Amino acid sequence: MIPSSPSFLGQSGLSVLLFGGKGGVGKTSCAAATALHLAGDSPESVFLLVSTDPAHSLADSLAGLATPPNLQIMELDAHECLVTFKREHGAKLHEIASRGTFLDDYDINRFLDLSLPGLDELMASLEIARQVESGRFRTIVVDTAPSGHTLRLLAMPAFLKQWICALNALLAKHRYMRGLYSGSAAPDELDSFLEGMTASVEKLEALLQDSARCRFVPVMLAEEMSLSETRSLLRELKRAQMPVTDVVVNRLYPDNECAACAESRSRQIRILREIFDSGSFADHALWGVPLYPKEVRGKEGLDAFWTGLIHLKVAPAVRKIPAVQPWVEAPTPCPATEKALLLFAGKGGVGKTTMACATSRRLAQDSPGDEILLFSSDPAHALSACLGVEVGPKPTRLCAGLTALQIDCEEEFQALKRLYQDELRAFLHSLLPGMDLTFDREAMERIMDLSPPGLDEVMALTKVMDLCEEGRYRTMVLDSAPTGHLIRLLEMPELIDQWLKVFFGLFLKHRQVFRLPKVSARLVEMSKALKRLRALLADPARCAVYGVTILTRMAFEETKDLVSACQRMRMDVPVLFLNLATPPSDCALCAAVREREAEIQRIYRQAFPEIAQSVVYRRGEPRGLDSLADLGRALYSAPLPVLTP
């Protein structure tokens, strides 16, 4: 039987409903519209709409809407959650540290202070679990961060278990001695605290895998990169045993006589045909939402969001549309040759990857003999889909002068952990082969688990700095994670620097035990690379942030956050690419969209008069090196002159 509407709009037993997907696909609109729909249908129940994205968009989406009394809104503040966690549990954590090994409480407490769960994904897990356990809300609707970081959120139960195991290792020796000398094996207050945390984590894990109480709804666009990322997301959700029954395909173009609409619709139909022909979505119901003339914000937009919903059963026939050349208004000068690092940044789904790839292609063409490195730190790997070439953790040659690299952040960190554990075990065995140091060894091995979230991403960037130091590449182009996570990443080096200093202090203080030359050498290398990275980020002559955005109010608000963060960190933002603008047309839909885009463009110019702004019109979906070369030629005018001292 064909369903008349998605199950998540009517299923009353759901405790948690999560909307996720590639950045910029409309997750926030879906989440907000669903929460309002549920609250309106069940006025006797109370609902919660919560955002876990560091770059919150809920307030922008609601646009001052007076929400019904049975719907509460929460934009999680990771820092505030950390302060609360420390206030409630800090004393217990410090006492656990003091009962540990030969490491004193000062040693361990410094690690705890730097590694306490306090960043977005981890804090979101704890807060959502707490709200579910409170029983106050019938359903909690979650607007998640873009795909790669959403998967980290779903992996947080395992991360929390690992973190709790590290704390348990610090208590293990105390438990043993207590049983040996007092004869009491009864758990004390600290044991109960860790048991309670473990129980909460297990409840969260069970909840996320319970199809009767939890549902994850992927949101996507009918575009190649969105399809690629959604397929990866579905694979990971299946691996995590997360229930998924519906997929939303947002912003579908109508079938009309407009050339611009027809070109976009033709591309979308090709993607829909690929979805149906491949069978990769066979276990899920697909729901299409049309492109609306007005931006989906406030009461009018959100109330009407689901009214145009259609059940997608088969893709229409593809109409052949002639290829069109990229069209850019007010192209900007090419980056100066002195720029060693270019970061492409902005809200998810605005075209950062495409712009980074096109820029890299243009730089390689303009500078024969020089080498350009294009790399990505976004957990949702998009370079391969954009380039049409498989890109992995090893440098991949794309063409003359251009190499690409997809950093595996997690593997970099796991390699450091393995090196640390192997060297520690070998050293302790050679030092005291006849002594049982089980408790001390396990506690020391677990110290690496008390590292700050985000260490893996910074380690990956320091690896690229090593390539820069070798002089192999004139310019490195970073396709970054979406705004909130990029800001966190740019601010992270200072925290990691503190963590390294704590580790070095531990090595010096206990140099009779911590004789780990390979680990020490690796951390020294990382520290040096980190200093080079911090110096590079702070040098406007050698580093620049190229902002990529679109002409919507929500994208504007996020761009304000990005520019403000860059100014705070004294980073140069020479240009904003106003991407995916609607070209002129007699079509009523295109005319309405262009009208609202023109108003947003005026707002951009008023807000950022000192930043050059290039309008990039929607003209197909550039994929492959040839199409990216065409876009690169359109984006930039003549190269900037070389600066001489």
> How would you write 288-311 as a 3-class SS string?
EEECCCCCCCHHHHHHCHHHHCEE
Q: Nearest 10 degrees: CA dihedral of 409, 411, 415, 420?
A: 70
Residue 644 confidence class, pLDDT cut points 50, 70, 90? very low
- Pick the closest to residue 378 from 338, 402, 350 (CA basis): 350
**Lowest model confidence (mean pLDDT) among 5-9, 147-151, 418-422:** 147-151
Least confident of 28-32, 186-190, 598-602, 625-629: 186-190
Mean pLDDT on 103-127: 59
pLDDT value, residue 1: 44
Residue 197 vs residues 124, 194, 201, 538, 574: alpha-carbon distances, Å: 15, 5, 6, 41, 47
β-pair type (285-290, 310-312): antiparallel
**Average pLDDT along the chain:** 81
Predicted TM-score (pTM) above 0.85: no
pLDDT of 409:
72
> Which of these is catalytic: 53, 60, 120, 440?
53
Domains and CATH numbers, the chain: 13-84+115-312 (3.40.50.300), 328-410+457-498+523-638 (3.40.50.300)
pLDDT in tens, 550-582: 998 888 988 998 899 889 888 899 999 999 999
Contacts of 308 (CB under 8 A, 6+ apart): 289, 290, 292
Is residue 374's pLDDT more than 50?
yes
Lowest mean pLDDT of 51-55, 291-295, 300-304, name the range: 51-55
What pLDDT, on the 0 to 100 scale, is given for residue 279? 82
Confidence of residue 643 (pLDDT cuts 50, 70, 90): very low
pLDDT band at 278; cut points 50, 70, 90: confident
Residue 354 has pLDDT above 50, yes or no: yes
At 528-556, the pLDDT tens digits run 877 888 888 889 999 999 999 999 888 89
pLDDT of residue 436: 46
Q: What is the mean pLDDT of residues 350-377?
A: 92
pLDDT at site 328: 94
* CA atoms of 263 and 320, how far apart (whole Å): 8
Check residue 493 and give its pLDDT: 65
Question: What is the C-alpha to C-alpha distance for residues 189 and 194, in angstroms, rounded to an integer?
Answer: 9
| Residue range 139-168: mean pLDDT, rounded | 75
- Give per-residue pLDDT as tens, 209-261: 899 889 999 999 998 878 988 998 898 898 889 999 999 999 999 988 888 88
Region of poorest pLDDT, from 68-82, 301-315, 625-639? 68-82
Position with higher pLDDT, 492 vs 101? 492
Give pLDDT, residue 642: 45
* Whether 53 is catalytic: yes
DSSP secondary-structure letter at 21? -
pLDDT at 118: 41
Task: Using the predicted structure, report yes or no on whether residue 645 has a pLDDT greater than 50.
Answer: no
Is pLDDT at 612 greater than 90 in this prediction? yes
Question: What is the separation of C-alpha 346 from the centre of its chain, rounded to a whole number of angstroms?
Answer: 12
Is the CA virtual torsion 88, 454, 516, 505 positive or negative? negative
Token pair for 601? 């463009």
**Which band of pLDDT confidence, cut at 50, 70 and 90, is reported for residue 634?**
very high
Task: List, in sequence order, every residue forming a beta bridge with 342; answer none if it has no partner.
Answer: 477, 544
The predicted model gives 118-146 an average pLDDT of: 77
Among 253-257, 524-528, 629-633, the least confident range: 524-528
- Amino acid identity, position 202: E
- Structure confidence at residue 630 as a pLDDT band (50, 70, 90): very high
Q: Of 381-390, 405-414, 545-554, where does mean pLDDT reach its minimum?
A: 405-414
In this prediction, residues 125-136 reach a mean pLDDT of 81
Q: Tell me: pLDDT of 117 over 50.
A: no
Instruction: Give yes or no for residue 110 having a pLDDT over 90.
Output: no
Q: By C-alpha distance, which of 26, 6, 27, 29 is closest to 18?
A: 27
Which of 408-412, 500-504, 519-523 has the lowest average pLDDT? 500-504
Per-residue pLDDT at 39: 93
With a cut of 60, say whether residue 640 has pLDDT above it.
no
Query: Tens digit of pLDDT for each residue in 29-50?
Result: 999 999 999 999 999 999 999 9
Region 205-209 average pLDDT: 86
pLDDT band for 185, please (50, 70, 90 cuts). low
Output 178 or 583, whichever has higher pLDDT.
Answer: 583
| Interval 185-212 mean pLDDT | 81
Q: What is the mean pLDDT of residues 354-362?
A: 96
Q: Is the pLDDT of residue 494 over 70?
A: no
